[in-house]
A and B are shown apart, each in its own frame.
Chain A
Amino acid sequence: MTPEKALELFSEYREGTLDPGLRQALERHFYENPATQEEYRVFVSVYDSLSNPPEVTPPANLSELINRRLDLADWERKREPKRQLRWFRLVTMGAVAAGVILTGYIALDRFGPQTGIAASSVPGIVTRDTSPSVARLNGETRIRFWSDHQTVVTVHTGGTRFETLPPSDASLVRSDELKGEYNVPLAINTTSPSVVWVTVKGLEGTTAIFLPGSHNPSLSATQDGDLISALQVVSAKYGIVIEARLNRSYQVPSVPFNNRTVDLVLGDLLSSTGLRWKVDGDLVRIR
């Protein structure tokens, strides 16, 4: 056996997976070549040291960083079909406009100048923002939103006058002018249930976020009256966050809890409103 061949067998010999014939040949080689044996001794020391690597502690914001990148990827993915649609619309409108002009020209040519068609301007392409939504990750609640143009996101909390949303007596928490990503943690810590209102300038409707505060499983029913008050009770009863996209509030009937699932309760509560819901873990989305 050559020293080069011996080196090739070091790992398998160390791991005890070497064929018995080769193992004997290698051991004989060690006996006859102390230098190779010494090399093997060093090899084993390095091999063994590799399996005790230093501890690695991830940064505290790792989750946030990854989620931002995923949101961006998400947004780009949703935007791509829009871009294609935009091109399709432009091409279609161009074709229609060309057809109209051609028809007008033919008509003009055939029936004289009194039947001329006035050119119409091509309307601007309007891109629509998504609504603000709630993300629950590692027990943290965040408001997420993406705007492809400069806008203002306003966050209010509380309020009791639901004639307008957000309520006229709600308190302003923050207002941010932005373009692009909005990803803000909801750091409102109250023991009683609370509502956060998120509105975006130029975007119809309000996103209401119901936070349960201290979980209160002893509640037995909602009361006749306002949907917003009822959702606050449901949020507290089931210890869940509710995100509701609302244009206004609704009058709803009283709904008993009676060991019923949140699905059944929401079914009763929302039956007259036309709103739909989706339960995702401890987050409910209502649209």
Chain B
Amino acid sequence: MQDVAESPESDNVTYESIDEKRLVERGQKGDREAIDELVRRYQNKAYQYAYRLTHDADEAADLAAEAFVRIYTAIPRFRAESRFTTWLYRIITNCFLDQKKKEKPRKTVSLDENPLLGESGTQMGAPVGDPTESSEKNERGEILMAAIDELPEYQRAMIVMYHMEMLGYEEIAAALDLPIGTVKSRLNRARLALRELLADQVELFISG
């Protein structure tokens, strides 16, 4: 009588304590529980990135799930030349771009029409006459997010990866399969575009 398969328990090791590289190796051999552990470790990160791209809870959850399905399917071919998380960002970005391609042409909202970017500079529903620091910060955050939504998808992904997910230029370059110089110049363009989009709310940002 013998154990039917090698298991981490045989040497008192649990999936929770296995490092990422070994989990990936196990996943490549078809170990579903290794994949489950990778999901457990990175699902929040995946959702956070997806949410910051979409600003929609359902869409973000769907993107995160789709990304893990793609990972499950493609992991035997993953060459581990980059970190698993870099690959995860790449796949989520691809899922996001694919989804946007599939969607009907997005209804474009002009800056004048977008209530968050209107001339008043006041977020809809925000308490009027409540100039506390925190409400101003929230307002600034909402306006900023609305402006990010107006960016082309690729620029949006770069902005979110660099400024919110705190990825370095090299990691973004690896995730998007672009030269670092291209990432830097495109990010600069994205920031300049944001500055243009926020031209009407300049004071809000400078005072902050």
Q: How large is the interface on A (under 10, 10 to 19, 20 to 34, 35 or more residues)?
A: 35 or more
Asked if A58 and B48 sit within 8 Å, CB to CB, the answer is yes
Flag whether A218 is at the interface (Cβ < 8 A). no
Shortest C-beta distance, A135 to chain B (Å), equals: 8
In the complex the two chains form, what is the Cα distance from A10 to B66 in whole Å?
Answer: 37
| Interface residues in chain B, defined as those with a beta carbon under 8 Å from any beta carbon in chain A | 1-5, 7-10, 12, 14-16, 32-33, 35-36, 39-40, 43-44, 47-48, 51-52, 57, 61, 64-66, 68-69, 72-73, 137-138, 140-141, 144-145, 159, 163-164, 184-185, 187-188, 191-192, 194-195, 198, 202, 205-206, 208
Flag whether A54 is at the interface (Cβ < 8 A). yes
Q: Which residue of B lies closest to A50 (CB)?
A: B163
| Interface residues in chain A, defined as those with a beta carbon under 8 Å from any beta carbon in chain B | 7-8, 10-12, 39, 41-43, 45-47, 49-54, 56, 58-59, 62-63, 65-70, 72-74, 77, 135, 137-138, 261-263, 267, 270-271, 276-282, 287
Asked if B145 and A267 sit within 8 Å, CB to CB, the answer is no
Asked if A67 and B191 sit within 8 Å, CB to CB, the answer is no
In the complex the two chains form, what is the Cα distance from A105 to B130 in whole Å?
Answer: 96
Q: Give the total number of A-B pairs whose CB atoms are below 8 A apart.
A: 145
Asked if A51 and B9 sit within 8 Å, CB to CB, the answer is no
Residues from chain B with Cβ under 8 Å of A137 in the complex: 36, 40
Shortest C-beta distance, A172 to chain B (Å), equals: 30
In the complex the two chains form, what is the Cα distance from A262 to B10 in whole Å?
Answer: 9
In the complex the two chains form, what is the Cα distance from A262 to B9 in whole Å?
Answer: 9
Using known A-B contacts A51-B164, A62-B64, determine if residue A281 contacts B9 with beta carbons closer than 8 Å: yes
Q: List 28 A-B contacts (CB under 8 A).
A: A7-B192, A11-B184, A11-B187, A39-B195, A42-B198, A42-B206, A43-B195, A45-B202, A46-B205, A49-B144, A50-B163, A51-B164, A53-B163, A54-B141, A58-B48, A58-B61, A62-B44, A63-B39, A63-B40, A66-B64, A69-B65, A70-B36, A70-B69, A73-B72, A74-B72, A271-B1, A276-B4, A281-B14
Shortest C-beta distance, B155 to chain A (Å), equals: 12
Residues from chain B with Cβ under 8 Å of A77 in the complex: 73
Using known A-B contacts A46-B198, A263-B3, determine if residue A59 contacts B57 with beta carbons closer than 8 Å: yes
Shortest C-beta distance, B132 to chain A (Å), equals: 16
Shortest C-beta distance, A285 to chain B (Å), equals: 8
Residues from chain A with Cβ under 8 Å of B202 in the complex: 42, 45
Q: Which residue of B lies closest to A276 (CB)?
A: B4
Asked if B61 and A65 sit within 8 Å, CB to CB, the answer is yes
Residues from chain B with Cβ under 8 Å of A39 in the complex: 195
